[in-house]
Structure 1
Amino acid sequence: MTLVQSQIHSVSAHPVHSTVADAMDAAGPQVWYDMTVEVALSVMAAARAEHLLVCDEDGLCLGLVTQARLTAVRDSPGYTDRVRLDDLTDRSGPFLSPLASREEAEDAMPFERLGPVPVVDEHGSALGVLALSR
């Protein structure tokens, strides 16, 4: 005899996601860390994206830059055409694991950090992006 376990699922207007992997969006455009701000803004416009995942030469995720951040840097008084994405990314994260629960992800984020966060595998390769809001 085979046991079958059934579960009752409630239907709601807001789906419940159990892990970050269930709630994340596709990674979107991934670019190299040595790209200039101007080129990154052009890539972003062509892709109609609001953010870019910044990767190193091995494809490991170094961070994420948003259109707002790139525009602010470009419009700042100290801007030169030599500013690269590597100058703008925080290699220490935050990064999320696809196995973390959404609640764990929100609890781990600094309160002032809202918006998209890279989701990476155990090797540091980008799998997607989780948009956090409070």
Structure 2
Amino acid sequence: MRTVQLRPHPATPAPSDTAATDAAGPRVWDDMTVEVALSVMAGARTERLLVCDDDGQGTRVVTQAQLTAVRAGSTYTDQARLREIPGGSAPFASPRAADTAA
């Protein structure tokens, strides 16, 4: 059995620390595995996730199609993290930041 070491993430004003909802979809951390991210998507009934860094800032958006393609790849392991996934919409511009810039 493999032990999993969790690290605390910064508090956010959202109601859930695991997957807070944002304009880009549920918010998740970049150290989440692809498998867990796909489960979050299924539970939230969405096709995209906002990936956040250690400071809680949205860095990019990943889609269900991207994660499914990664999982189907020949080099995939169940330990693959979102931060290791190439592509995605980067950098992510927060809708709130766009509103204040206008």
User: Structure 2 length normalisation: TM-score?
Assistant: 0.65
Determine which structure has more spread, i.e. the larger CA radius of gyration. Answer: 1
Whole-Å Cα distance in 2 between the matches of residues 69 and 78 of structure 1? 15
**Equivalent position of 2:36 in the other structure:** 39
**Higher relative contact order (Cα pairs below 8 Å, separated by 6+ residues):** 1
Could you tell me whether the CA contact under 8 Å between 2:61 and 2:88 is conserved in 1?
no
Structure 1 residue 65 displacement after superposition: 0.5
Equivalent pair of 1:27/1:53 in contact (CA under 8 Å): yes
Question: Mind listing any 5+ residue stretches in structure 1 that lack a counterpart?
Answer: 1-24, 97-117, 128-134
- The aligned counterpart of 1:121 is 97
Q: After superposition, what is the alpha-carbon deviation per residue over 1:97-127, rounded to whole angstroms, capped at 9, x for unaligned?
A: xxxxxxxxxxxxxxxxxxxxx64627xxxx9
Structure 1 pair 92–37 and aligned structure 2 pair: CA distance change class (3 A): closer
Percent of aligned pairs with the same amino acid: 59
Whichever residue aligns with residue 47 of structure 1, its letter is A
Structure 1 residue ranges (4+ consecutive) displaced by more than 4 angstroms after TM superposition: 89-92
Paired residue total = 78
Kept in 2: contact 1:62–1:89 (CA 8 A) = no
Gaps of 5+ in 2: 1-21
